[in-house]
Structure 1
Amino acid sequence: MEHSCTDLPTRIYVDGYVVDFATGEIIAPDQFKSICLDRSKPQQPLYLCRSVDDLHDFLDGVDLRKLPPLTTSTLIDARDHAHGVWRDTKLDCRITVPMMNTLVALRGLVKYGNVIMMTKADLAKGLGVLESNLMKKLAPLVNANLVRVFTSRHGIRTGEIKLLVNPRMVFRGYDSHRDQYVDWWYRGDAPDALYFNQQEHLLKVA
């Protein structure tokens, strides 16, 4: 499955409606419109988070102190493995120094799992680029299937951005959960419940 910064969605979300990107036809009301508005509803699962506020609300129910420490070992292992594949097979899947530097920077922005949700301006600042150059900065990682990008065209709040980092590279959580995410990443067809369906281990004690 290929994901690139230039992929156009078939549907977009406009003023609470799902709209066909090509024709402009209104398909249906956005069933998740109330996620950012109605606080009386139960906490949304992570995969439905479409804004910084959604992610903040989700993390309010999680004790991040219980997570294993986040290290760079998986990044280094993945880089070395990719270099070994290139050396043995001449298939160039190497992680270059600029790509590695960007991944290390993204690692510092992951609060839980492999998800980053923030404003485009804050992400650009975190990566040391102008907001206008943000997608160009992410493009090598997207094209290498190391990062997936979601914006307002995919239902994310305008001005904000959601990134999923390849969990082989960066994952803040338990190894058993990471293995599930890695499987999902390469299959691309996991059920929605896969996202943090074992959250009970991390719930805050009242």
Structure 2
Amino acid sequence: MNTAANSTKTDALISVDGLILDKHTGEIHGHDGKLSPWSGRYDYMLELGKCRSVDDFQYHLGFVDRRKLPAHELHTLRDEVDHAFGKWRRTGIDCRITLPQQRLLEKLHGLVLYRNVIIMIQADLAVSLCTVESNLMKKLRVLIDANMLRVSTSRNSNIRTGEIKLVVNPRMVFRGDDYRRRKYIEEWYRPVGCLHTGVFHPGNADECLAMVA
């Protein structure tokens, strides 16, 4: 008699989303130990273009296996320097990358952890670039004016106060595969309206990243 009752009770139990329930009464009898979409916490990658702080950037990097990225070397930057010098010699168009620009790009190259983005505390960046915080923007201006760098801070964007976001021209510095680099370069020089206007979109750091992310 007891055996039959136990069998009937067992037949009434079902498993739903990791819980063992009585299908007649809805009573919860425990957990079945199986994975459930409702158990635990699920994290989602924040888009690179939406990172607004050092914490956001570190959270994004938590989803990236940087061990699988290509070697991060200076060959690309030095090739661009040589190419610009050669173009100047051939055509007379002065598109050279000056030595101060090259030295600064090399320092930024060492700070890039992923793609062409740097997000740091401004004071820390100033130390890394061997300057003081009050002189930081002046030091970066040599690259900004040459369309080699785009900068966002709390003054011109919604970056956290005291922090700074740098996006380097991907022709010069990029940590990622060649396909993704080409896409970033295309977006960096994205034309306004007609493809043949000859006017290039100045854009901003977040626009560029959002389009290619």
TM-score range, shorter chain: 0.7 to 0.9
Q: 1:169 aligns with which of 153, 169, 172?
A: 172
Give the equivalent residue in structure 2 for 1:63: 65
**TM-score between both structures, scaled by the size of structure 1:** 0.72
What is the distance in 1 between the residues matched to 2:208 and 2:108? 24
Q: Which has the larger radius of gyration?
A: 2
Question: Does 1:107 find its partner at 2:109?
Answer: yes
Cα distance in 2, alignment partners of residues 53 and 191 from structure 1: 18
CA separation in 1, counterparts of 2:164 and 2:70?
26
CA RMSD, Structure 1 to Structure 2 (Å): 1.8
Relative contact order, CA 8 A, sep 6+: which one is greater?
Answer: 1
Residue 163 of structure 1 aligns to a residue in which SS? strand
Corresponding residue of 1:21: none
CA distance, structure 1, for counterparts of residue 56 and residue 160 of structure 2 = 10
Instruction: State the 1:193 CA deviation.
Output: 4.9
Matching residue of 1:96:
98
Select 1:183's aligned residue among 173, 186, 193: 186
TM-score normalized by structure 2? 0.70
User: Are residue 192 (structure 1) and residue 210 (structure 2) matched?
Assistant: yes
Moved over 4 A (4+): 188-191
1:80 Cα offset (Å): 0.7
1:19 matched residue in structure 2? none
CA deviations over 1:67-126 (Å, ceiling 9, x no partner): 010111111111011111211222211111111110000000000000000011111111
* Inter-partner Cα distance in structure 2 for 1:71 and 1:89: 29
Q: Percent identity?
A: 54
2:144 maps to 1:142: yes
Count of residue pairs brought into register by the alignment: 157
Consecutive unaligned residues of structure 2, counting only runs of 5 or more, are 1-40, 191-200, 202-206
**Structure 1: gaps spanning 5 or more residues:** 1-38, 196-206
Q: Is contact 2:149–2:166 with CA below 8 Å preserved after alignment?
A: yes
SS at structure 2 position matched to 1:170: coil
- The letter of the residue matching 2:182 is D
